[in-house]
Amino acid sequence: MDLRRLILALTIASALISLANTYYASFQVQRQQLIENTLESNHAYATKLAASTEDFLAGVQQQLRISAAAITANFQTKNILKIETERLRLQTDSFNSVVVINQDAKVLATSPETLQLKGQTLETLGAVEAVKSKKPLISQPYVSAVGNLLIFISHPIFLDSGEYVGAIGGTIYLKQASILNHLLGKHYYNDGSYIYVVDKNQRIIYHPEINRVGKVVTNNLVINTLAEQGSGKKQITNSQGIEMLAGYATVPTTGWGVVAQRPKSATLAALDSLMAKVVSKILPIALLSLLIIWWCAKLISKPLRQLADSANAMDKPETEQNIQKVKSWYFESSELKRVMLVGINILHKSINKLKDDVQTDPLTGLCNRRGMELALSLWKTVKTPFSAVTIDIDFFKRINDTYGHDVGDLVLQQLAQHMRDVSRADDVICRVGGEEFLMLLPKTNSQTAAQVAERLRSQVESSIFDYAGKITISIGVANWPDSSNEISVVLKAADQMLYKAKRCGRNRVEVFLSDHVTHDVDTLINKDSPTK
């Protein structure tokens, strides 16, 4: 991966992670805020409705108290009782029905008369409790004598002498239209929000689904908490498995619990739309930012990329001119450009000096030891791998002793020519001793070097040297850095292979491999090639 792609990838990744984190954090904060606001709103609403219900109950109890006082003096006058019950029911529409009972719970008057309760003795919960307690009372829900589920609100009737003679009471039907339904039912919403009311025994006395009125609710966290806390707010799951945000409060007089709740999904529905709008606003800016980042990454990486390309062509004559053209507009690239120009000047000087010193051996025209050292130093600097091929003439002393040193010199010159014939233009050929030679083959592995060495050995073996006739050579091969990371060790390894070739009968090639196992050239060449 080049620098431009790296900068772009890191910047985009950072931007996307930051954007995602911001989006997620914003989503969570907004989500929690909506939930908290809804819970608080429902709690406030339930508290308000509980207070309104309390006020209503106080009001109807006051109506009953006034009516009880009004009929005290005429308690035995049936017509007066009839008129008062009718007035009380119709004047405020607070009750579904009104009755007057005596101390034995016998009905003396009723409105409406269609109930046909007059003269009957009531044994229902509300009536029995009223005459028994002899005080103002709001009953628990129960089924009346005519089959209605209702609440009975009553007030005792005492004569001026203090004698208890009965009670006047009104009923509020729970499963039919009533003042309670009107008070609570107008708060029903279309988004799934609703209100319900339970009594102290966890029986539902109001619910928008009329068929649920009268049922006892169990395993409901809010209703279970009502008796302990009185008011509060909670997230719950209702009987239908829907997550709800509920606020609740208690009616002090009766202990009824008013619960206002809203589906969690309805509360969070607005959040999805809100976050979609946030994304739609952020996306164009994000795309523009990415475009700017891409352009900046390209601008930053361009000079470094040009310098990197030039670094791969340091030995070419046009490289210096190419580096000069690079626009290094920031410090790091400017410093790299300067150092590369210095380096390339040093490199060219070294190359020129090497070329000047190559023809230093007056007899063979090959490189001497100094030229060898310059080549090795250069290749080590630019990390160019190479193979070292050491060559020695077998029984060269015998040639000098038999034919004289002049013939020996001719043999050295002709051998040098054979070495040139099998080498490339970039190879460095050195005479490092009397009859010892060294071929340095850049960018060449051990196997290829062994093939070159074998080709030279075979060529020398089949040639006729002036005045000396046939000669043979022994060769050792090693590679840098495969044989060793130290160049001196590699040269020594090549010498060791040369000595081994001599010990093994001369006129052969021995190779030092990276696994420190030596092989003769036939084994190495035949291992990977069908031909020698």
The helix/strand count (H/E) of the chain reads as: 14, 17
Which of 120, 178, 169, 121 shows the shortest CA–CA distance to 149?
Answer: 178
123 in active site = no
Q: Which two tokens stand for residue 255?
A: 């202990």
C-beta atoms surrounding 419 within 10 Å: 25
Q: Which two tokens stand for residue 130?
A: 């009223």
Q: Is 136 helix (H, G, I), strand (E, B) or coil?
A: coil
Q: Are 379 and 386 in contact (CB under 8 A)?
A: yes
Catalytic residue among 435, 454, 486, 510: 435
What distance in Å separates the CA atoms of residue 453 and residue 387, rounded to the nearest whole number? 11
Give Cβ neighbours of residue 430 (< 8 Å, ≥ 6 apart). 366, 367, 368, 369, 371, 372, 437, 438, 439, 440
What distance in Å separates the CA atoms of residue 322 and residue 336, rounded to the nearest whole number? 14
What distance in Å separates the CA atoms of residue 349 and residue 355, rounded to the nearest whole number? 10
C-alpha distances (whole Å) from 177 to each of 89, 174, 196, 257, 508 are 14, 8, 15, 20, 119
Residue 118: what residue type? K
Prior bond of 284 cis (ω within 30°): no
Note the residue count of the chain. 532
Residue 450: what residue type? A
What distance in Å separates the CA atoms of residue 449 and residue 391, rounded to the nearest whole number? 13
> Which residues have a catalytic role annotated?
435
